[in-house]
Amino acid sequence: MPRTAEEFLSPPSVPEDCYVSSSVYTDPDLYAEEEEKLLRRTWKFVCHVSEVPNIGDYRTHDWTGVPLVTVRSPDKKVRTFVNSCSHRGSRVVRYPAGNMKHMTCFFHLWEYDLYGNCTYQTRDEGYEAHGPTKEQAGLREVRTDTFCGLVFMNFDGNAAPLREYIGETATAFESIFGENDFEIFHLNRTHMKGNWKAWFLTNCDFYHEWGHQVNRSTNLTSPDYHDRPWRLNHAQGHGYTARKLDNEPFVVQYKNYKGWKNRDGLVLRGLQPGELVLTDLFPNTSVFMRTTCVRINHSTPYGPDHTVMEERGLGIKGESEADRRQRAKEFTQVWGPYSRNGAEDVAFVEESHRCQEFGANKYDVISRNEPIGDGLQRPQSDAYVRLFYDKWGDYMGRPANNPKNLMTAAE
Amino acid sequence: MSWQQVCTTDDVDEDAIEEFDVGDITLLVANAGGEYYAFPPNCPHQETPLSMGMIEGETLICIKHLWQWNLRTGELGDNAESPLLKYEVKVEEGAVMVNLEKELKYNYQ
Amino acid sequence: MPISDEQITRLIYRSCLRLDAEDFEAYLELFAPEFEYRISNYSVEIRKDQRWMDVNQDEYKALLESIPLHSKPLGTFARHANVYDIERNGEDRAKVTTFLTVYYTTPDGGTKVFAVGKYFDEVDISGDQPLIADREVRLETREVGIGSIVPM
C-alpha cells in the first residue's frame, strides 16, 4: 500500500537503532562535525608499505581537507606531515608519488628534510629580525603507524595506539598478512557523488550482493553462504566475516560465472582454494582477501556529497610475471573500473544519494535481523551497519536516526 | 501441434540451457546430467529469461532472485514461491521430442 | 591481393562502431582466433604499469555475452578513433596505433569525455580480411567516474 505524506515523513516503524536519518549523508554541518569529532580522531588508512619501500619514497593524499605527505625517512620509519609550507601555505609536495631527497616548496624554495625539519629558508637573513627561525618552521608531523604492512595515520595524539584500535578484528587478516609478503599491483580512484559512509557501508552490507550478477551466481548459490557469521568488535566498531561456525572456509563458486574458473591455483597462504574473508575497519577501510589477491578499499571525503574511493590490489612480492598477471586478472574480474562489480557499486551509492540529497528519501532502513545462534548474525543481517551507526553516535554525541534532534524541537 | 522434435541431444551441452522456436512457440531445453527438460522461456516470477539461468545437478536456478526448482520432480527449491511449468519430453534416437500440444504460459500480473 | 591500409583502418573504425552499438556478436567477428584483449595504463600513484582488464578470446566472448545480466551504466558510449600509424611487420602482421576518445552520454542527453587513450593493435593480414589478433587499450585516463561494464 503506498504511504501518505505523513507516513512518508515519519520515521519507519522499526526500532530506533534500525533506521538512520538521511541527513547523515547530506547535511554540511553534520559533515563538518564528522571531520572534527570522528575523522580526525580515528585511524585513517594511507597506503601499503610497498608504495614507499625505499628511503625518500612518498605518497601524497588528503584527509579532512588537509593535504598530507607520507614519506619513508632516512631512519626507515614511515612518517606523515601536513603537506603545507610553513611560510605561505603552498602544498610542498605536489605529485601523487615518487622519491625525493628533501622537500622543496616551489613557491619561495623553502626546504624541509625527510624528518619534517625546515632546513633552508631562501635569503634567511630576512628573518633575523622577526623570525621565524628554521627551528620554528618545521612541518606539522601527524601520528603514523603500520600494522600488517598497512600504513595508517591519526591527527589525534590522544587516540589509542593503532594495534589497540584494530583490536581482535586483526585475527581475520593478521595471519594471512603475516604469511604472505605482499606488494601492490593495482590502484584506481573514483570520484563519486555520494557520502563516504554510504560507500563504506555498501562494502559492509552483504544484502547488496543481490544487486551483483557476479555475487548472485558465485556466492549466493553456495549452499553454505548464510553460515558464516559477522564477528563484531563492539568496542571499536569493526567487523569481519571469515570462517563458518564449524570453522570451515566459505568457498566462492567462481565457475558459476560464465567464462570464469574456480580459484584453485595461486592461493594465498592462510587461505583455502576459493576462500573469501572480509574485514571492515571503522570508519572506512575494508580489507578483502579473495583467495588469490587482496583488495584494500577506503575513501576520502571532500564534503557530504563528494567521495573519492580508492582501491588497491596486492599480490606476492617477487612472484613470476605469469603469476602476477593471473593474480591481477582475477582481481580485475571483480574489482576496478572495468570489472563486473565496480561500476555497479558506484551506481548503488550515487543513485541512493540522488534521492537523499533533496529529501526524497528521509530514512535509511537498516533493520535486517538474521540470528544464527550464540548472539551471532548471518552475513546478510544489518548487524554490522547498526554497530557502525552506534559507534558513529558515540563519536558524534548524536543518534544517527535523529542527528539534529529536529523532532524533539518540533514537539 | 503435439510431439515435435525441438533439437538433438548434441544441441544442448551438459548443464546448459538453450532456446528454440517451434512454430510460434519459444521454449528452453535444459540438459541436466544427460536428462533433458523443456519449459517456457521466462521465470514465473518476473519474466527473467531462464536461458541465463544455471543448472546445478537436477536444479534449475533463475539468475535474478535465485528461485530454484528440481527439474525432475518439479519440487520447489530455495527462494521459489511458485512452480515451474514443464513440457513433456522424450528422447528418441538422439532427437529431443517435446509435447507442444498446448503452449505453457504463466499468468503474469 | 594484399590487405590495404584502408582495409586495416576500416577494421579499426568498425570495431568502434560495433562496440558503440553493443553489437557484440558482430564486434567479435573482427577478431582473429585466440586473440587477447587488455585495458592497461601506467599508475602514477604506484609507479607501475597495471592492467584493468586482461582476457583471452573465450573469456572476452563470455564477458560480452554476460553484459545484459549486469546493471551497466544507463547511458551510451561513443568512440572516436583516429588511426595514427600502420606499421607492417612482414606479410602477415601489421601494428596499428589509433588515438581513442570515448564519450559518455547520459540517458538525459548530457555528454562528457569518459576516457582518452590509444589502441595498440596487432592485425592479422594473412587472410582475405584483416582481423585484430591482439588489442591493448592503453588509457591516459585513470579516473573514469562510475566505470564501465562495457569494454572500451
d(CA A252, CA A262): 8
CB pairs under 8 A between B and C: 3
Task: With cut-offs at 50, 70 and 90, classify the pLDDT of residue C63.
Answer: very high
Q: How many domains does chain A have?
A: 2
Chain A touched by B54 (CB under 8 Å): yes
Asked which of A122, A147, A172 is the last residue of a domain, the reply is A147
d(CA B14, CA A409): 66
* Cell output for C61: 566472448
Contact at CB, A216 and B56, closer than 8 angstroms? no
Task: With cut-offs at 50, 70 and 90, classify the pLDDT of residue A407.
Answer: low
Chain C touched by A213 (CB under 8 Å): yes
Rounded mean pLDDT, A289-318? 98
Collapsing DSSP to helix, strand or coil, A152 comes out as strand
Q: List all chains that touch chain B, counting a touch as 3 or more CB pairs closer than 8 Å.
A: A, C
Count of C-beta atoms within a 10 Å radius of residue C143? 11
Rounded mean pLDDT, A341-364? 94
**Same domain, yes or no: A363 and A239:** yes
- Domains, in order of start, for chain B: 3-99 (2.102.10.10)
d(CA A220, CA B20): 29
d(CA A230, CA C1): 67
The 10s digit of each residue's pLDDT in A91-118 is 999 999 999 999 999 999 999 999 999 9
pLDDT of C20 strictly over 70: yes
Which chain C residues are closer than 8 Å to B63 by Cβ? 69
Which chain B residues are closer than 8 Å to C69 by Cβ? 52, 63
d(CA A182, CA A186): 12
Q: Which residues contact A374 (CB under 8 A, 6 or more apart)?
A: none
Per the structure, the complete domain to which residue C83 belongs is given by 5-139
pLDDT of A409 strictly over 80: no
Q: What is the mean pLDDT of chain C?
A: 96
- CATH code, A319: 3.90.380.10
**Same domain, yes or no: A186 and A259:** yes
**Same domain, yes or no: A100 and A237:** no
* Cell output for C48: 607501475
d(CA A406, CA A399): 12
CB A279 within 8 A of CB A173: yes
**Same domain, yes or no: A202 and A234:** yes
Rounded mean pLDDT, C52-59? 97
Residue A117 in domain: yes
pLDDT of A411 strictly over 80: no
d(CA A196, CA A301): 6
d(CA A40, CA A44): 8
Asked which of A147, A173, A206 is the last residue of a domain, the reply is A147
The 10s digit of each residue's pLDDT in A233-284 is 999 999 999 999 999 999 999 999 999 999 999 999 999 999 999 999 999 9
- CATH code, C50: 3.10.450.50
Which chain B residues are closer than 8 Å to A221 by Cβ? 54, 56, 61, 66
Residue A403 in domain: no
Chain A touched by B85 (CB under 8 Å): no
* Cell output for B11: 544441441
Asked which of A90, A115, A147 is the last residue of a domain, the reply is A147
Rounded mean pLDDT, C45-65? 97
Sign (positive or negative) of CA dihedral A140, A143, A149, A150 = negative
Chain A residue with Cα closest to C115: A337
Contact at CB, B56 and A221, closer than 8 angstroms? yes
**Same domain, yes or no: A176 and A286:** yes
Q: How many domains does chain C have?
A: 1
Percent of chain C with pLDDT over 90: 94
Which chain B residues are closer than 8 Å to A210 by Cβ? 65
Q: Which residues contact A123 (CB under 8 A, 6 or more apart)?
A: none
Residue C146 in domain: no
Chain A residue with Cα closest to B68: A221
Contact at CB, B63 and A216, closer than 8 angstroms? yes
Per the structure, the complete domain to which residue A377 belongs is given by 161-396
The 10s digit of each residue's pLDDT in B54-101 is 999 999 999 999 999 999 999 999 899 999 999 999 999 999 999 999
- CATH code, A73: 2.102.10.10
Residue C144 in domain: no
Residue C66 in domain: yes
**Same domain, yes or no: A166 and A60:** no
Task: With cut-offs at 50, 70 and 90, classify the pLDDT of residue A39.
Answer: very high
Rounded mean pLDDT, C47-62? 97
CB C136 within 8 A of CB C52: no
The whole-angstrom distance between B47's CA and the closest CA on chain C is 14
**Same domain, yes or no: A193 and A327:** yes
The whole-angstrom distance between C59's CA and the closest CA on chain A is 5
Residue A196 in domain: yes
**Same domain, yes or no: A167 and A129:** no
Residue C20 in domain: yes
Which chain A residues are closer than 8 Å to B65 by Cβ? 210
Chain B touched by A213 (CB under 8 Å): yes
Which chain C residues are closer than 8 Å to B52 by Cβ? 68-69
